[in-house]
Amino acid sequence: MAVEFPPEVKREFDELVAKYEQTRAALLPVLHLAQREFGYISPEVEEYVAGLMELPPTKVHEVVTFYTLYHKTQPGKHVIRLCKTLSCHLLGAHTIKDHLCRKIGLENGHGTTPDGRFTLELVECLGACEFAPMMQVDERYYGPLTPEKIDEIIDGLTDEPVVENVDEG
Amino acid sequence: MPTLTIDGIEVTVPDKTNLIEAAKMVGAEIPHYCYHPGLSVAGNCRMCLVEIEKAPKLAIGCFTPCQEGMVVHTSTEKVLQARKDVLEFLLINHPLDCPVCDQAGECWLQIYYMKHGQYESRMMEDKIKKHKKATAIGPTVTLDQERCILCARCVRFCDEISKTSELGIFNRGNHAELDVFPGKELNNKYSGNVVDICPVGALTDRDFRFQCRVWYLDTQDSICPGCSRGCNIQVHYNLDRPHHAEGRRVLRLKPRFNPEVNKYWICDEGRYGYKFIDDESRILMPQVMRNGGMEFVSWDEALKASAEKIKASIPEELGVLASPQLTNEELYLIRKLFVEELGATQVEFRVPPKEEGYSDDYLVKADKNPNTKGAEEIGLAVGSAEEILKAAAEKKLSALVIFVHNLVNSGLDDSLVKAALEGVETLIFIGSNFSDTSEKANVILPSATYAEKSGTFANSEGRVQRIHEAVPPLGESLPEWQILNELARALGLDWDYQGTEHIFAELAKDVPAFANLTYEILGDQGQTLGYVPPAEEEALVEHGELEAVRAT
Ligand code: SF4
Ligand code: SF4
Ligand code: FES
């Protein structure tokens, strides 16, 4: 696969870069754009972005590896981020995790399921303690979670990513 | 020019001087890792913390510019404790590698730990494992990530000096690692310098690794003979451990600071170009053609044979190819002996190279000779190498003396070279290593390499710089100036040069460009041709004052 933005994404890239005084300053949003476009950021994508932005590839690799929100390998169709910080922990995130792993078929507790459908990341506080225990699926928050609620959410997922919207259920 | 007080000593420093440099001026050392005077300031290691009066907390010396009236303390209890703490942090994930680490003995973790160490370890946690250990990351450098303290000197070097940006610090927190981009190499014309500036054993030199413990090395100041830039170097050698490094004596070259020439750096071509010094191709004994074969002979016999052949030639039949690899002292003696005493007219030093040498806009020059400028000034460009060879090929020369050059692999026409080397009756080769040219000689006089003799080179900008003998000439080889002295004596002249300084003094009187220069004036950083000493009357005034002071 030749790594290249299709014309409409290239336009988005140009607009992003135009917002900043220095091209380099647009690196984070450009990488998000690249991640949306290519699914994850491989060294090839880094080199492509570096070329577009006239940066040494090492500088792009430094940024990509610094931030956990950039995927370095192909993630599952849905990325689940389960909070492991205090409020969620006290309200049983651990049981939720075990149940979730069984439900999606993940053996070692994190990473991507063998069928490539789910990636589970255990993350620090997502700033939604009022929903504890909570998780984020793609761009949407869910909570408070119970095993039943987990089953319902997982069974209700299609192959399309979930869009941003807080479920206050 | 702010004036400030450091450890109770008042000092006035140039604007923008930082505290580390200012402290040096009063003889105080502020320990540091990430700061390097040849690179931008990063301020990430925190080793250089000092106390500044009226400042709320300790400040880093590398990033704090001196200011008027500042009062700085470099070794209060608070500072000493901070250093201990910083070192403790830096060592959290550091392996216990010193016994197998090539940096041991010149490692700044070891050096500072002696003074500022915690000694009682408080670390119970498991160390974080990094990915690359003893891994080559390019043709010249080996990386050991767990030894790295993430000072980013090497990263800045590749960004700012070589401008190749091969290195980066990837991942974060205690998982951060120094590395090359996936699938790429550290490979540039200056890559070896990252080893010099890495304060620890994270980057080591593939060429030098495990050849010798650094505490067995002796050092001698010299000049790189790799090109006409004339970078200042140190020759690191060892004479007592022939069981090391296959008996090589010279084990590595390091850059030596000279703000006018090479700053803190040298190129890889120069750095790794020293192998010929202890190479198997070295010529160890004089040889003379006898009964159709070359025979080893004593110096006396070889000189006698050479003198006979030279004497037998009338000046027009004598050709001399000097070399810009030789020192000014030697070139001067060549001129004196062959041009002035013997009247030779077919004298030249320039031989065109096979192909244009690599050059860039930083250090490396296309002219791969250290002393072209000196040879020009001394006046050895009389004919042209081509004309001399033509004369030889046409059997118009009875003797040809070639210093150092290998004509066979040069830019001169191959068939002309062949015809010349075969056409001349007597071919005297004076050089350090065998070559296709020495093969054709009927007299071979073994000479010393630049690491085995003293003298001066003039770089392309006319800076005259000294080289010093690091190791003795190998086998029976001798410095060219000594060979020339002996040859002159064999020719019946009463030469008696006792050393290169003696020759240089005469040269400075004789060759206008060198006027006023002495070894003392050259010092260890050199001085340019056409040097004008401080005005004479000034000197007189000084002298007068000196006398006056003495009288009281
Ligand atoms: S490899 Fe050496 S120079 Fe580079 S960041 Fe690590 S310690 Fe510093
Ligand atoms: S730039 Fe020239 S003089 Fe300097 S190290 Fe390289 S070869 Fe030697
Ligand atoms: S030398 Fe000052 S912070 Fe590293």
CATH of the domain at B363: 3.40.50.740
User: Does A108 or B506 have the greater pLDDT score?
Assistant: B506
What pLDDT shows up at residue B242? 84
* Same-domain status, B128 and B55: no
* Same-domain status, A54 and A117: no
Give the Cα separation of A11 and A15 in Å (integer).
Answer: 6
What pLDDT shows up at residue B277? 98
Q: Quick one: average pLDDT of B2-21?
A: 97
CATH of the domain at A28: 1.10.10
Closest by Cβ to B171, choosing from A56, A58, A65: A65
> Does the distance separating the beta carbons of A58 and B181 come in below 8 Å?
yes
The count of CB pairs under 8 A between chains A and B is: 31
How far, in Å, are B57, B125, B175, B244 from residue B87 at the CA level? 19, 17, 18, 34
Q: Is residue B165 within 8 Å of residue B243, measured between CB atoms? A: no
**Residue A51 resides in a domain:** yes
Q: How many domains does chain B have?
A: 3
Say if ligand 1 is within 6 A of residue B202 CB.
yes
Q: Which neighbouring-strand residues pair with A140?
A: A137
Of B37-46, B116-125, B188-197, B435-444, the one with minimum mean pLDDT is B116-125
**Residue A161 resides in a domain:** no
**Residue A73 resides in a domain:** no
**Residue B210 resides in a domain:** no
Closest by Cβ to A43, choosing from B166, B171, B181: B181
Question: 3-state secondary structure string, B116-178?
Answer: HCCCCCCCCCCCCCCCCCCEECCCCEEECHHHCCCCCHHHHHHHHCCCCCCEEEECCHHHCEE
Ligand 1 centroid – CA B364 distance (Å): 25
**Residue B514 resides in a domain:** no
Q: How many domains does chain A have?
A: 2
CA distance B165 to chain A (A): 6
Contacts of B159 in chain A (CB under 8 A): 56
Say if ligand 2 is within 6 A of residue B227 CB.
yes
Is the pLDDT at B535 greater than 80? The verdict is no
**Residue A124 resides in a domain:** yes
CATH of the domain at B9: 3.10.20.740
Model pLDDT for residues B260-306, shown as the tens digit of each residue: 999 999 999 999 999 999 999 999 999 999 998 999 999 999 999 99
Model pLDDT for residues B382-440, shown as the tens digit of each residue: 779 999 999 999 999 999 999 999 999 899 999 999 999 999 999 999 999 999 999 99
Nearest residue (by CA) to ligand 1, atom 3, is B198
Model pLDDT for residues A112-157, shown as the tens digit of each residue: 999 999 999 999 999 999 999 999 999 899 999 999 999 999 999 9
Q: In the structure, what pLDDT confidence band is assigned to residue B552 with cuts at 50, 70 and 90?
A: very low
Is the pLDDT at A1 greater than 70? The verdict is no
* Same-domain status, B59 and B108: no
What pLDDT shows up at residue B281? 97
Q: How many residues does chain B have?
A: 552
Structure tokens at B70: 């500042």
* Same-domain status, B82 and B108: no
CATH of the domain at B112: 3.30.70.20
* Same-domain status, A62 and A83: no
**Residue B303 resides in a domain:** yes
| 3-state SS, residue B109 | helix
Structure tokens at B11: 């000092």
User: Which range of residues forms the domain containing residue A119?
Assistant: 78-156
User: Which range of residues forms the domain containing residue B54?
Assistant: 3-91
Say if ligand 3 is within 6 A of residue B33 CB.
yes
Is the pLDDT at B206 greater than 50? The verdict is yes
Contacts 24+ apart (CB under 8 A), B340-345: B341/B488, B341/B491, B341/B493, B342/B310, B342/B315, B342/B318, B342/B491, B343/B315, B344/B315, B344/B318, B344/B319, B344/B320, B345/B315, B345/B316, B345/B382, B345/B383
**Token match 């060219």: residue?**
B480
* Same-domain status, B76 and B107: no
* Same-domain status, B362 and B449: yes
Is the pLDDT at A169 greater than 80? The verdict is no
* Same-domain status, B115 and B65: no
Give the Cα separation of A135 and B544 in Å (integer).
Answer: 89
Is the pLDDT at B551 greater than 80? The verdict is no
String of DSSP letters for A7-38: HHHHHHHHHHHHTSSSGGGGHHHHHHHHHHHH
Ligand 1 pocket: which of B203, B204, B205, B264 to mutate (most atoms within 8 A of CB): B203
Is the pLDDT at B125 greater than 90? The verdict is no
| 3-state SS, residue B54 | coil
Whole-complex ipTM: 0.86
* Same-domain status, B87 and B108: no
Taking any CB pair shorter than 8 Å as contact, residues of chain B touching chain A are: 159, 165-172, 180-184
* Same-domain status, B324 and B408: yes
Q: Quick one: average pLDDT of B508-514?
A: 97
Model pLDDT for residues B322-367, shown as the tens digit of each residue: 999 999 999 999 999 999 999 999 999 999 999 999 999 999 999 9
**Residue B17 resides in a domain:** yes
Is the pLDDT at B123 greater than 80? The verdict is no
Model pLDDT for residues B126-157, shown as the tens digit of each residue: 888 899 999 999 999 999 999 999 999 999 99
Q: Which ligand is nearest to the Cα of residue B30, counting in written order?
A: 3
**Residue A58 resides in a domain:** yes
What pLDDT shows up at residue B546? 47
Ligand 1 pocket: which of B150, B159, B195 to mutate (most atoms within 8 A of CB): B150
**Residue A22 resides in a domain:** yes
* Same-domain status, B58 and B105: no
Of A146-160, B363-377, B534-548, the one with minimum mean pLDDT is B534-548
Closest by Cβ to B168, choosing from A43, A47, A62: A62
Report the DSSP pairing between strands B3-6 and B71-73: parallel
Neighbour count for residue B428 (Cβ, 10 Å): 23
* Same-domain status, B102 and B67: no
> Does the distance separating the beta carbons of B171 and A61 come in below 8 Å?
no
> Does the distance separating the beta carbons of B159 and A56 come in below 8 Å?
yes
**Residue B463 resides in a domain:** yes
